[in-house]
Structure 1
Amino acid sequence: MAEKRDSLVTLERLASRVTALKLRVVAASADVADAEGHRDVASWMTHRTRGDRRQRRREQRLAEACDGRWRRLGQAMTTGAVHLDQAYVVSRALDDLARVLTDLLGDTSFTPVLTSDRQNEILDQAETHLVEQAASFGPDDLARLGARILQVLAPHVADDAESKKLRDEERHARRVTRLTTQRLGDGTVLVKARVPQHVATRLTTTLEAFTNPRKQCGDAAQPDGPHRATDATGEDLPYEMRLGHAFCALLEGLDPRRLPLHGGSATTLVVTMELDALLRGVGAGQLATGETLSAGEVRRLACTADLVPAVFGTRSELLDLGRTARLFSPGQRRALALRDRQCRAAGCDIPATWCEAHHLLPWGRLGATDLDNGVLLCSHHHHRIHDDRYLHQRLPNGDVRFSRRR
């Protein structure tokens, strides 16, 4: 065992030294690429070795950095003291530090004023420190050290430099924030968004609250343990699917009264369908945009969404344009929360504050909007109770048990 252990360490150092030699040659081989008409050495090596273009470009950037500015780092790679993964991190941290210091050159708000000589001194100290730390830390830890290196070497400019960096990042984030939708023609829409990091963190935190991460199946130590969960129907759901369902629940749960006004009223969804189809649970409803929804989905939305159901009779006469009594009042919601405490699907423990009020006898079948006809269900199980692929049964204790139709 000792021989294998020593061999692995020795081979790792040899591999690092060979890589360092390769990078030195790459840095000096621009003429090779030019002779065969390639843009750069990375392009030439990709063509000749059939390797990965992105990896070759990373190697070329590191080779140029070690050959031009970070020579101490290059020397450490040559001796095997720093391996390739560490070198990428150290080089990137030093490049970032150099950009920050360049932006601060000559700024009179700092005492003493940062000069080019002081900048070079700080960069030299930073390179020496990070190369030395490579003997004790891996790439992730080196990245963290590199991100905070200025606070150690030049604390009088670190706070202002960090503040400027954050302001620049926030302005950049606002400039590039985008959201696009693409209809895929199969009943779904692909939503792509690029948003500020803090917004994404807030969204993820909210969605994870909806997904009930405590109810996980499998051992958390297993690769799939934290990413799948079993619902009350026994169906195994991937984590990404649960996040998608949670996103839908979040949008459907928005309070329309807090939305921007359009023409004096909050944004409203109008669903049109025949009364007979709504009562029998067949056919489809149509939105004002021309999109169609199943009768089951219309009934589910009618439980909680701020929509106006435009229901027509057999002669297309308008029978009902919204009945506010279909919605449970805030007082009724509080009473349901006190009574049910959580989602009443068997085995589900989503708290009441995240649940939706459901009519046991559907509103479309003249079900009353009162406590005896109401039950709290989380968004996932609210979808299930309106899904014709599932049967549901009210248990003596008031819980709802689901089973897949055979």
Structure 2
Amino acid sequence: MVLELSQAEDAIAACADTAIWALSEGELIAALDTAHRIEQRLASVKLALIRELEGRGTATTHGASSTAVWLRERLRLTIPAARRLVDLAAVLDTGNPGVRDALAHGHITMEQARVIADTVDTVRTAAGPEAADKSLGVLVEWAGQFDPTLLRKLSTRILDHVAPDIADAAAAAALDAEARRATRDRHLTVSTLADSRLRLTGVLDSETAGLLRAAIDPLCAPSGPDDQRTPGQRRHDALSDVCRLALRTGELPEHGGDPAQVVVTTSYDGLIRHLGSGALDTGLHLTAEAVRRLACDAAILPAVLSGAGQPLDLGRQRRLISGPLRRALVLRDRGCAFPGCDRPPRWCEAHHIEHWADGGDTSLTNAVLLCGHHHRHLHHSDWTVRLTGDGHPEFVPPAWLDPEQLPRRNHYHRRT
């Protein structure tokens, strides 16, 4: 397969160098159709490879917490895109050879394959394998005419075409299946932008959508006739109010050994003089005005730092890394420091580089922030970690993974 894919890559590279402007309109359309069909056939190959890697546990062997995380690092994908690939690879591998073949022959797209696979599974459960085979043929034919969204809508009545005698009874089962898919596909992604803002994207199931609406709708109304905020800005501010209310309840669980809280680091002089900006423990920066606003409703925790901004060494009087030292560790590592991991600080634990039991002290120079998965992985693998001359951690992979054992760093938390 490797040779064939290499030859295909060479052929595609040759096409990329073709003078497209010289093609007629008919040739352009034909070339587009062919390129699209090849893209879907390659997608089938990619899904098969991903499924095999998943089955072999390659991601875990390489130190990743999941195949999706490994794919993100390997192929430079977003986590949602990587998860969709892993999920679809599993769906097509489990009892859906007809859908897999349709994708392999370029008759359907990956998005249509997901819809068809879900529908065929539902029909198989409700009406048996013969009806499932019939529904596959009908859906593949429809896929030549309809996009995935419309195909999903049409598929809810597929039994009217392949098993009309049980269509009504199966409609209820289809609704139940749709609810299960909604539960399976629920997700929320929080992406950090270059200017310290966050982008929220996701899909909420019906119950959570109702809870969100109930929580923010009363807060979304204009504050008066002079309110110039757009509807989107009012929803944003309503979500902010809900988060503030939740933090004030004191009922949120602890994260990383600390109560749920917003941690802002700034200088005392800057705060008093109304000049100092601040940084959240997530790495986001705040203006001086925002820092003062938060300080109006906050407990201020002083910490004595060295001239270089490092906390004083706590020596071996304490084993646990907490309080000011943990906050300094968060500001340095900004999240799990293991290469390729994007887990935020609140999901992480402090790891002694030289173990406490072996005489290691509790200090910033002997600590690194790791998520639970990579903390366990570091203790049970041949990876090693050390601090470099600039005071930041780097990880050395085992020789079987990288014979040259080139040190690696985490770039997901790097501030720009």
The alignment's TM-score, normalised by the length of structure 1, stands at 0.37
The alignment's TM-score, normalised by the length of structure 2, stands at 0.37
Q: Higher strand fraction: Structure 1 or Structure 2? A: 1
Bigger Rg over Cα: 1
